Amino acid sequence: MSPDVGSPVGDLVPPDRVSRSGRSVVELVGVSKVYPNTRDAAVADVTLTVEEGEFFALLGPSGSGKTTTLRMIAGFERPTVGCVRLAGRDVTKLPPYKRDVNTVFQNYALFPHMRVADNVAYPLKFRSVGKAETASRVSEALDRVGMTGFERRLPHQLSGGQRQRVALARALISRPALVLLDEPLGALDLKLRQSMQLMLKRLQREVGITFVYVTHDQGEALAMSDRLAVMHDGRIHQTGAPDEVYFRPKTTFVASFIGKTNLVDAERDATGAVRAGGLALRLATTPAAEQFKVSIRPESILLAEAAEGAANTFDGIVRETIFLGSERELIVEVSGQTLLAKAASNVVLEAGTPIRVGWPAEACVVVVDPAEQAP
Amino acid sequence: MTSVASRAWSSLFVIGAAVVYVFLYAPLVVTAVFSFNNSDIQTLPFSGFTTVWYEDLANDVQMREALLYSFKVAALSVALAATLGTVLALILDRVAIRGKGVLSAAVVVPAVLPGMVLALSLLMMFRYIGVSPGFTTIVVGHMSFIAPIVMFLILSRLRQLDPSLEQASMDCGAGRLRTFWHVTLPSIRVTVIAACLLGFTLSFDEITVTFFLSGVQPTLPVHVWTLLRFGFTPEVNAVFTLIAAVSLVLIVLAAVLLSGWRPHRRNAPTSAPPIEQPAQTNVLALTYERTP
């Protein structure tokens, strides 16, 4: 049985932009993974390149194949089809212990019978590193993650955040070319998560090691990564810088998974005019497809006087307002379409108030649903 | 009314339980008591406390040789069974091979087979290949029923292990053998020890298989059994009491180890760590300030 590797998204996603440092640390070429006795591929035709020194996030909901992708880079899984390259070298068939990669596991995977110092020193055991150098590198690594003084503790004597930092020290100590992180902050509470995000980002800048970071938290991915790939159903829907992915989503999935958005069904007629239900939309470019969706971010919808003069202006009625503290969400009905907009939290609008809404042509982003285009 | 009835039921339950325990332990207690009785014949009343039977035991050369022999047999057969059992458990747990069910069933057979069948078939096999009964045959016989028990105990432990630990080890650059030595073996060590203790008592107390496979030198239980044929001496009480005591200690130790007691809290939850204390974030803040 051959896996389904035809990629409807592949045509939409242009090849990765020209590298920044020019040296790729990880390259996946047409990688698919089909587990035995399953019909659908866990990972389908994934192609991506991670540059040296990058903080790269793999973002997607659970079951999107992001962890499987990570495990294929680490060497715990072998791709059914495709090729994994590390620093230009084909490692597809190499076991994990022959790859210059270290992983921070979701449950940290610290060795329970070893003290913190021995856990951190473990990778050096297998690289001829002298005793004195091992000791100095262990204390340096523990210092980097703020765990000096915990050398003699056993893992079960540490809190979740502390274990996390020890796992990080263990991943960094052999100075690998690449560190993989599998939802490393998933088990931590919100406050700690935020401080750990800062620490991770700072650490990555300091050591200059490439990070590939798996997460299902879009906020985390946007905040931390230099570039990210959005995955869904085993496929990469879009790869790019956080702002690019946020403002110029390519698929309906990316548009709706990252942040909130208004997705409206639209169609283009022969003259190039675009209509979405009762709305005549003006877009910055004429789309190639005839049937598509348009994504309009709530924050790009202008209200009242601000809306005047925008490429798209319509009369609407406020249907509902939701107070969120720092801002207020408005649900506005515009000729049959319901749109989500944002206003300052001190703006008070009663439901039923007529209001002028508008947005620039660039705010309309044409997105497609690859599942609908698939044969 | 109901309270009277329920009280009657519960006292009946207590009596029933007591009867069961008396049945189980009375023989042991009687044997132990008579091993200290100052009389050649086993009758009440108790004619006085003595340790003379234990002294006799200590001076009995045949008995000492049988004891030493039993130790040697148990030590070697347990060592071999532990190695074999561990290897088989690892194969069944890790290696993707066809017919795993058949393999594991085949390993169990010697452990569930009636001792006599196992003993006779082994005896016939040894005769066929020309190995005369003696130390080697007893060790092989014991190993054949201890190894499956070791294997199943270790297999169930292996299945509890967090696979990410071994992956983390390989991720750190350790090959399969080093991963086994540094990570897997320490994780199953307690189970291996417990299985060895259990195997030791099984080997030490075994009669049927040993009886068929032993040559000139008997093991302790076989020697005692031979003594019984020529009449009952209180010396036998003493040796039974000792065997029972040592076995009980080993079995209790094995049970404690297998029940999940660990020197360190090995199964401490890693996935659901406790909520951090505020002091924790301060540590982070400090390191933050330190670095430029």
What is the tally of structural domains in chain A? 2
Range of the domain at A162: 15-247
Chain A hits for B170, CB-CB cut-off 8 Å, are 75, 95-97
Q: Which of A247, A282, A311 delimits the end of a domain?
A: A247
Considering only CB atoms, A111 lies closest to which of B165, B268, B274, namely B165
Buried b (16+ CB within 10 A) or exposed e, B245-267: eebeebbeebeebbeeeeeeebe
CB contact under 8 A, A154 and B264: yes
Residues A39 and A149 in one domain: yes
Whether A179 maps to a domain, the answer reads yes
CB contact under 8 A, A198 and B271: no
Residues 6+ apart with CB under 8 A from A285: A366
pLDDT of residue A22: 62
Q: In tens digits, what is the pLDDT along chain B, a chain of 292 residues?
A: 567 778 888 888 888 888 888 888 887 887 787 778 777 766 677 777 777 778 877 788 888 888 889 889 999 999 999 999 999 898 888 887 777 888 888 888 888 888 888 888 888 888 888 888 888 888 999 999 899 999 999 999 998 888 899 999 999 999 889 999 999 999 888 889 888 988 988 888 888 888 888 877 888 888 888 887 877 677 788 888 888 888 888 888 888 887 765 555 444 444 433 433 333 333 333 333 333 3
CA neighbor of B86 nearest in space, from B205, B187, B204, B203: B187
User: CA-to-CA distance for A101 and A209, rounded, in angstroms?
Assistant: 10
Whether A5 maps to a domain, the answer reads no
Whether A177 maps to a domain, the answer reads yes
CB contact at 8 A, A352 and A316: no
Q: How far is B291 from chain A (nearest CA, A)?
A: 9
Q: Does A187 touch chain B (CB under 8 A)?
A: yes
**More confident position, A23 or B262:** A23
Buried b (16+ CB within 10 A) or exposed e, A17-53: eeeeeeebbbbbbebbbbeeeeeebbbbbbbbbbbbb
DSSP single-letter state for residue A239: E
pLDDT of residue A363: 87
DSSP single-letter state for residue B47: -
Q: How far is A191 from chain B (nearest CA, A)?
A: 9
User: CA-to-CA distance for B147 and B85, rounded, in angstroms?
Assistant: 5
Q: Does A195 touch chain B (CB under 8 A)?
A: yes
CB contact at 8 A, A54 and A227: yes
Considering only CB atoms, A109 lies closest to which of B162, B187, B264, namely B162
Q: Which of A247, A271, A306 delimits the end of a domain?
A: A247
CA neighbor of B139 nearest in space, from B76, B65, B209: B76
CB contact under 8 A, B270 and A110: yes
Residues A271 and A321 in one domain: yes
pLDDT of residue A367: 87
CA neighbor of A368 nearest in space, from A8, A46, A7: A8
User: CA-to-CA distance for B238 and A17, rounded, in angstroms?
Assistant: 86
**More confident position, B51 or A166:** A166
Chain A hits for B183, CB-CB cut-off 8 Å, are 111
CATH code of the domain covering residue A98: 3.40.50.300
Residues A258 and A171 in one domain: no
CATH code of the domain covering residue A306: 2.40.50.100
Contact residues of B toward A, CB < 8 A: 162, 164-165, 167-175, 178, 182-183, 186-187, 264-266, 268, 270-277, 280-281, 283-288, 291
Residue A97: closest C-alpha in chain B:
B173
Whether A10 maps to a domain, the answer reads no
Residues A204 and A104 in one domain: yes
CB contact under 8 A, A206 and B291: yes
Q: Does A174 touch chain B (CB under 8 A)?
A: yes
Residues A258 and A240 in one domain: no
Chain A hits for B172, CB-CB cut-off 8 Å, are 97, 102, 122-123, 125-126, 170, 174
Residue A194: closest C-alpha in chain B:
B281
pLDDT tens column, A297-346: 988 888 887 778 778 888 888 988 888 888 888 899 888 888 899 888 88
Considering only CB atoms, B170 lies closest to which of A97, A162, A206, namely A97
Residues A98 and A209 in one domain: yes
Considering only CB atoms, A187 lies closest to which of B178, B264, B272, namely B272
CA neighbor of A276 nearest in space, from A294, A289, A260: A294
pLDDT of residue A375: 40
Specify the residue for token string 């047409």.
A30
CB contact under 8 A, B172 and A198: no
Whether A6 maps to a domain, the answer reads no
Residues A356 and A226 in one domain: no
Please state whether beta strands A365-367 and A291-296 pair in parallel, antiparallel, or not at all (unpaired): antiparallel
CB contact under 8 A, A109 and B182: no
Residues A305 and A212 in one domain: no
Q: How far is A85 from chain B (nearest CA, A)?
A: 17
pLDDT of residue A16: 43
User: CA-to-CA distance for A321 and B44, rounded, in angstroms?
Assistant: 96
Whether A8 maps to a domain, the answer reads no
CA neighbor of B238 nearest in space, from B74, B45, B59: B59
Residues A166 and A31 in one domain: yes
Residues 6+ apart with CB under 8 A from B198: B149, B153, B250, B251, B254
Q: Does A101 touch chain B (CB under 8 A)?
A: yes
Q: How far is B276 from chain A (nearest CA, A)?
A: 7
Q: Measure the CA angle with vertex A268, ends A267 and A273; round to 5°.
A: 125
pLDDT tens column, A68-84: 999 999 999 999 999 99
Residue A202: closest C-alpha in chain B:
B288
Considering only CB atoms, A123 lies closest to which of B172, B280, B287, namely B172
Residue A179 has pLDDT above 80, yes or no: yes
Residues A94 and A146 in one domain: yes
Residues A243 and A272 in one domain: no
pLDDT of residue A307: 77
pLDDT of residue B81: 93
Residues A239 and A261 in one domain: no
- How many cross-chain Cβ pairs, A to B, lie less than 8 Å apart? 125
Residue A64 has pLDDT above 80, yes or no: yes
Of A3-17, A235-249, B52-66, where does mean pLDDT reach its minimum?
A: A3-17
Residue A103 has pLDDT above 90, yes or no: yes
pLDDT of residue B179: 92
Considering only CB atoms, A108 lies closest to which of B186, B270, B280, namely B270
Residues 6+ apart with CB under 8 A from B100: B92
pLDDT of residue B263: 53
Residue A176: closest C-alpha in chain B:
B172
pLDDT of residue B260: 65
Q: How far is B170 from chain A (nearest CA, A)?
A: 5
Residue A160 has pLDDT above 50, yes or no: yes
Whether A2 maps to a domain, the answer reads no
Whether A196 maps to a domain, the answer reads yes
